Amino acid sequence: MRKLELHWQILLGMLAGVLFALAMVQLEWGPKFISDWIKPFGTIFINSLKLIAVPLILASLIKGVSDLKDISKLSKMGGRTIAIYIITTVVAVSIGLGVVNIVKPGSSISEETRSELVESYKSDADAIKSKADKQKEAGPLQALEDLVPSNIFQAASDNGNMLQVIFFAIFFGVGLILIPEEQSSPVKKFFDGFNEVILKLIDLIMLAAPFGVFALLAALVVESPSLDLFKALAWYAFCVVLGLSLMLGVYLLIVWIVTKTSPSTFMKGMSPAQLLAFSTSSSAATLPVTMERVEEHLGVDEEVTSFVLPIGATINMDGTSLYQAIAAVFIAQAFGMDLSLSAQLGIVVTATLASIGSAAVPGAGMVMLVIVLAQAGIPEAGLALIFAVDRPLDMCRTVINVSGDAAVSMMVAKSVGKLNTPKVKNWDDNYKKKP
């Protein structure tokens, strides 16, 4: 009997987790049992993926940059990557503003519901606001200053410092290009082997993916707030999901036009990474799987994936920026504010820049949303209005973040002649490539 493909295994794990949690919440001791005995396995699964995120970025980026053998190739690929990422982010924010202005979900929030939500999530909103205040107090060049680490080992110890790790990896790779080949060869061979080890570790971790997402979804169900609060935010959630769906359609259309890859091929190739992104709400945790799927199933050359995808997981947050645009206008509508065209154009610019600064970890977009709200003059207390459904929507927007990274990598690969026929057809073949 043929083994189920990975995306079906993950789907079954997610479904089983939800059904198991729904059954357990009927028992008085059920929620505590899931929190104590099931949720830890989901945390372990996410931690195992995060564990190899920094080593993967170091190995793949150093290898990818040094393999270019020419600084001009690096600047060419880097320029196209950043340009496409910025364009897709602006498109995402524009889609979000269009949807929220047409549907107007905030107008359905009653004063009573607004007060209930603000009171329920006031402490969470205050914690997020304090983090955002620290970022707003920084100078205009703080982001540039933070890009260069003073200690690479300290930077590599925190997944929130991905940009610093990426900077060091690119800098190191450039150094390898500039020295004689006989001197750089031993170092390159080390990182080639190191990269292969990390990829094999990804294969091993993914064997546990169905069980990991089972635990994650079970914990999410028992920790969800009451259904009454969800009903009050149904239109807001609908707008976010609709906007994200439209953005996914934009990716599929662009990939089809630019690379001639059919939407079904793209979705089949990326489905395990998308499902993992949905389960973990983290682009960084999903990065190892994203790189393997894009390279092995969508035909993007390793030279491109090792450069484009780690950068994308850090600065390309189209789903997050789209959500920030919708959330900002939704909160304004809920408070009876009528945002002008200039204010909404300001949201486009701020959300685009904020998405670049969002860490690739769960909930980071909420911190950056405070900056978007402040720019538009929207009450920051409105954060409490959207906390009830932020977790499931965070899962959805991470899917779009990961899909956007894959789509851009295909476009960049096509532009530099590095898009090939996929080398592996099924996930199980990963274990058959070598004896």
Given this model, what pLDDT does residue 433 score? Answer: 45
pLDDT band for position 431 (cuts 50, 70, 90):
very low
Q: Phi/psi class of residue 377: alpha, beta or left (left: φ > 0; alpha: ψ in -120 to 50)?
A: left
Q: If you average pLDDT over every residue of the chain, what do you get?
A: 80
Kindly state the average pLDDT of the residues 379-402.
Answer: 79
Kindly state the average pLDDT of the residues 302-310.
Answer: 87
Kindly state the average pLDDT of the residues 224-247.
Answer: 77
pLDDT band for position 257 (cuts 50, 70, 90):
very high
Distance from C-alpha of 335 to C-alpha of 164, rounded to nearest angstrom: 39
Kindly state the average pLDDT of the residues 288-294.
Answer: 91
Given this model, what pLDDT does residue 113 score? Answer: 65
Q: What are phi and psi of 419, to 5 degrees?
A: -100, 120
pLDDT of 426 above 50: no
Kindly state the average pLDDT of the residues 396-421.
Answer: 90
In this predicted structure, which of 14-18, 105-109, 138-142, 416-420 has the lowest mean pLDDT? 138-142
pLDDT of 235 above 60: yes
Read off the pLDDT of residues 121-149 as tens digits, 9 standing for 90 and up. 566 566 666 666 666 666 667 767 877 88
pLDDT band for position 19 (cuts 50, 70, 90):
very high
Share of the chain above pLDDT 70, in %: 77
Beta-carbon contacts of 273 under 8 Å, excluding residues fewer than 6 positions away, are 286, 289, 290, 293, 402, 406
Read off the pLDDT of residues 182-220 as tens digits, 9 standing for 90 and up. 898 999 899 888 888 887 887 788 788 889 889 988 887
Give all domains of the chain, ordered by start, each with its CATH number.
6-425 (1.10.3860.10)
Question: How far lies 170's CA from each of 64, 297, 353, in Å?
Answer: 9, 26, 22
Q: Is 419 helix (H, G, I), strand (E, B) or coil?
A: strand
CA dihedral (418, 419, 420, 426) positive or negative: positive
Read off the amino acid at residue 98: G
Read off the pLDDT of residues 326-360 as tens digits, 9 standing for 90 and up. 988 888 887 777 787 878 888 887 777 666 555 44
Beta-carbon contacts of 307 under 8 Å, excluding residues fewer than 6 positions away, are 61, 64, 65, 74, 77, 78, 81
Given this model, what pLDDT does residue 1 score? Answer: 41
pTM for the full predicted model: 0.74
Given this model, what pLDDT does residue 190 score? Answer: 93
Q: In 3D, which of 324, 304, 325 has the Cα closest to residue 405? A: 304
